[in-house]
Amino acid sequence: MTPLHCSAIAPPVRSLGATFTADDAYVADHPNIPRMLPGVLGRTSSSALKLMIESFIQRYAQRLSSVIEEAQQCGEIRNTINKRMTAHQFIAAIQHLVFRALIVGGCRQHSRRVSDALESYRACMEVNR
């Protein structure tokens, strides 16, 4: 029997995709945020901002882990996948795309990279049907 939450309007894997795209769009709309992060995070001392960023990433990873677990329960992704590591890989993929866009530029190429990254991410964890 399929769990009730699996018949929702937005299946968990689709929700992850929407989150990925929305996060990337947010960063594209606020380009100064990623420009400031290396300077803040590169410092060896703790600062209120550094602690806030760390806390945000931890909460975000927990939320992603929950969505990944829901997708596992719905049979959308393999049960053998480590939820916590998969959540961190999700975050790392977004971080990579953001920093690559800062270094290389090119909005047209960036949107294609986002699409390719999301497709690869999903392909690595989805159940073969």
pLDDT in tens, the chain (129 residues): 445 456 555 788 888 888 888 888 887 787 777 777 777 777 777 788 888 888 988 999 999 999 999 999 988 889 999 999 999 998 888 888 888 877 776 556 677 788 888 888 888 887 765
- The predicted pLDDT at position 7 comes to 55
The total number of structural domains that make up the chain: 1
Give the CATH number of the domain where residue 103 resides: 1.10.357.10
Within a domain: 90: yes
A 10 A CB-CB count for 17 gives: 17
Within a domain: 75: yes
Residue-range definition of the domain harbouring residue 64: 10-28+35-125
pTM given for the model:
0.78
CB 33 within 8 A of CB 39: no
Within a domain: 3: no
Within a domain: 20: yes
- The predicted pLDDT at position 68 comes to 92
- The predicted pLDDT at position 42 comes to 79
- The predicted pLDDT at position 88 comes to 92
- The predicted pLDDT at position 1 comes to 42
- Percentage helix, strand, coil for the chain under 3-state DSSP, each rounded to 5: 75, 0, 20
Within a domain: 91: yes
Within a domain: 121: yes
Within a domain: 104: yes
Residue by residue, DSSP assigns 59-116 as HHHHHHHHHHHHHHHTTSB-TTS-HHHHHHHHHHHHHHHHHHHHHH--HHHHHHHHHH
Collect all residues with Cβ–Cβ distance below 8 Å to 78 and sequence separation of at least 6: 72, 125, 126, 127
- The predicted pLDDT at position 62 comes to 94
| Dihedral sign computed on CA atoms, order 54, 122, 124, 80 | positive
